[in-house]
């Protein structure tokens, strides 16, 4: 009975935030922009002007200004800048970045990606505990180019939360690579991944992001989702997420990262065990 099962240890905002901040520091792309000073001037000036405008229009008080200062300081102390930015800002960056793409839709990466997960051939079961909870899910499909050519040397990287909504390496007590793996396609571009259906994800309620959500009267939930990065030589990598039709918060994701093309409708598996779903990826040329 998964509904009464407790996580092995309590996941705290400070612990998952610190892990996400540390991962970002060590893993972020080395090609970080050496921005022209004009660009910095334009963007910084406009962001500040937008803040000034809000203060004037809403007659922001000194008490409110100091509450903001205290909150911003605490976001850093909790290590929650990756969470804050990926939940409330990244979706627009992704929209702008991938406007021109013809192939599969992408969406935000979020704070919990870790590169170099264990690699598997065509048919794989993601690393998981012996008694891994959740409905078994067979996720299978094909990777092609925009012109329909099967992509034989494609990589399908998947990572997702467990049935308690927890991510390995960001919550205590989980094996390092739990529910994270990289699967290769066969000569026809096919892949098959056995995993467990994830649970919806709740933003930690005990950190700064949780305090903002509570103070504003918002909810703290993302719908259950599978994260993916799909890539192939000579093609653009797609970072995406897939959701489950009818699942909680598919219609009101706190991170605004759901698109209609990204909703799966799994059916009972032919094997009789759990569910299965087919989803094909189309990659643009590099």
In the complex with ligand MBD, the residue whose CB is nearer, 86 or 157, is 86
**Smallest separation, CB 158 to ligand MBD (Å):** 13
Residue from 103, 110, 189, 204 binding Fe ion (CB under 5 A): 110
| 192-231 footprint of ligand MBD as x/- string (CB under 6 A) | ---------x--------------------x---------
**Smallest separation, CB 127 to ligand MBD (Å):** 18
DSSP 286: -
The residue behind tokens 């992408």 is 106
Per CB under 6 A, 128 contacts ligand MBD? no
**Which of helix, strand or coil describes residue 285?**
strand
**Which of helix, strand or coil describes residue 71?**
helix
Per CB under 5 A, 79 contacts Fe ion? no
Task: Select from 45-53, 64-72, 107-115, 267-275 the region that touches ligand MBD (CB under 6 A).
Answer: 107-115
Query: Using CB distances below 5 to 8 A depending on partner kind, what does residue 224 bind out of Fe ion, ligand MBD, none?
Result: none
Interatomic CA distance for residues 174 and 178, integer angstroms: 7
Interatomic CA distance for residues 23 and 79, integer angstroms: 11
Burial of 153 (0-12, 13-18, 19+ CB in 10 A): middle
Per CB under 5 A, 82 contacts Fe ion? no
Torsion 230-160-199-127 (CA) sign: positive
**Which of helix, strand or coil describes residue 232?**
coil
Point out which residues pair with 225 in neighbouring strands.
Answer: 243
Q: CA-CA-CA-CA torsion for 160, 165, 170, 174, nearest 10 degrees?
A: -90
Task: Select from 37-45, 110-118, 243-251, 261-269 the region that touches ligand MBD (CB under 6 A).
Answer: 110-118
The secondary element (H helix, E strand) that includes residue 51 is helix 37-57
- Retrieve residue 220's tokens: 């703290």
Per CB under 6 A, 87 contacts ligand MBD? yes
The residue behind tokens 């909680």 is 248
Interatomic CA distance for residues 25 and 138, integer angstroms: 34
Per CB under 6 A, 86 contacts ligand MBD? yes
Per CB under 6 A, 255 contacts ligand MBD? yes
Residue from 108, 138, 158, 163 binding ligand MBD (CB under 6 A): 108
Closest residue (Cβ) to Fe ion? 110
In the complex with Fe ion, the residue whose CB is nearer, 106 or 110, is 110
Applying the rule CB under 6 A, the residues between 11 and 70 that interact with ligand MBD are: none
Residues in contact with Fe ion by the rule CB under 5 A: 110
Residues in contact with ligand MBD by the rule CB under 6 A: 83, 86-87, 108, 110-112, 201, 222, 255, 257
């Amino acid at each position: 009975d998964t509904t009464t099962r407790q996580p092995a240890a309590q996941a705290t905002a400070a612990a998952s935030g610190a892990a996400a901040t540390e991962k970002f520091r060590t893993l972020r792309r080395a090609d970080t922009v050496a921005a022209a000073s004009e660009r910095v001037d334009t963007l910084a000036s406009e962001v500040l002007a937008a803040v000034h405008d809000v203060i004037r229009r809403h007659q922001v008080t000194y008490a409110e200004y100091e509450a903001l200062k205290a909150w911003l300081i605490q976001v850093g102390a909790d290590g929650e800048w990756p969470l804050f930015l990926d939940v409330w800002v990244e979706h627009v960056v992704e929209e702008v970045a991938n406007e021109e793409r013809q192939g599969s839709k992408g969406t935000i990466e979020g704070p919990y990606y870790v590169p170099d997960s264990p690699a598997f051939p065509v048919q794989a079961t993601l690393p998981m505990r012996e008694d891994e909870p959740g409905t078994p899910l067979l996720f299978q499909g094909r990777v092609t180019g925009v012109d329909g050519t099967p992509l034989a040397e494609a990589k399908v990287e998947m990572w997702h939360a467990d049935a308690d909504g927890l991510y390995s390496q960001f919550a205590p007590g989980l094996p390092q690579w739990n529910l994270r793996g990289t699967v290769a396609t066969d000569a026809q571009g096919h892949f098959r991944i056995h995993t467990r259906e994830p649970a919806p994800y709740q933003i930690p309620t005990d950190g700064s992001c949780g305090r903002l959500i509570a103070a504003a009267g918002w909810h703290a939930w993302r719908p259950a989702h599978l994260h993916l990065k799909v890539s192939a030589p000579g093609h653009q990598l797609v970072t995406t997420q897939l959701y489950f039709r009818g699942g909680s918060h598919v219609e009101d994701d706190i991170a605004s990262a759901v698109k209609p093309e990204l909703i799966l409708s799994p059916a009972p598996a032919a094997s009789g065990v759990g569910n299965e779903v087919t989803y094909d990826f189309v990659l643009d040329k590099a």
